[in-house]
Chain A
């Protein structure tokens, strides 16, 4: 019930194209959904996040679409650039079995933007 499923595992997009990464969750108690970007040798960095009371959030070229009824959310990267090449993780925050709030991460998507 704590899983977050992410797809695709890897993605190749041409420069200027749209990158789309999808995630689905099961636990309806999740109430915060961030996306992280990770470059090789670096820790994950918070990219954008959404709460379930809105269906979309946009920050620059990055947009989260959120479908509460389907328990799905996605990251769209518009006008993808080679510098966007990284691994992207979706996550969901909620109270875990231990009784403490923590993040559950998706499996990650390795994005490669070709020049």
Chain B
């Protein structure tokens, strides 16, 4: 299994500002995934980050709003830019399991509130 640490665990931000969320994994992984979970809702994939290449974004999510960095095989960041109250959500980092080739491990999440 993989241990994933996310920072910060929660934050309250002013609208119009940006927040960068960090995700650190205790082992090298090829793919890292960023999800959004709105209150009481399911998980929606934002983008997939592969080290050494640009992140691939899902429909409805764009790089200008959610820029992602993946500088090495154990770390990634997601920035939520020019925030509005609609961005208030839990943001989750996930990594794939080497054996099933699908993501199986999640960080504890970052609870973001935009005021």
Contacts and interface: CB of A to CB of B under 8 A. Distances in A.
B103 A43 contact: no
A29 interface: no
Interface residues of B, number: 26
Interface in B68-95: 92, 94
A75 to B, nearest CB: 15
**Interface size class for chain A?**
20 to 34
Contacts of B106: 36, 43-45
Given A43-B107, A45-B106, A98 B42 contact: no
A65 interface: no
B48 A103 contact: no
B58 interface: yes
Interface string B37-50: 00001111100100
Residue from B45, B57, B59 whose CB has the most chain A CB atoms within 10 Å: B45
B43 A89 contact: yes
Nearest to A108: B42
Given A89-B43, A96-B58, A108-B41, A102 B109 contact: no
Contacts of B42: 89, 105-108
Contact of B102 (A32, A105, A108): A32
Interface in A26-82: 32, 34, 36, 41-46, 49
A93 interface: yes
Smallest CB-CB A-B distances: 3 pairs: A43-B106, A93-B102, A46-B104
26 contacts: A34-B102, A41-B108, A41-B111, A43-B92, A43-B106, A43-B109, A44-B92, A45-B106, A46-B97, A46-B104, A49-B100, A89-B43, A100-B48, A101-B102, A102-B33, A102-B45, A102-B103, A103-B33, A103-B43, A103-B102, A103-B103, A105-B42, A105-B43, A105-B44, A107-B41, A108-B41
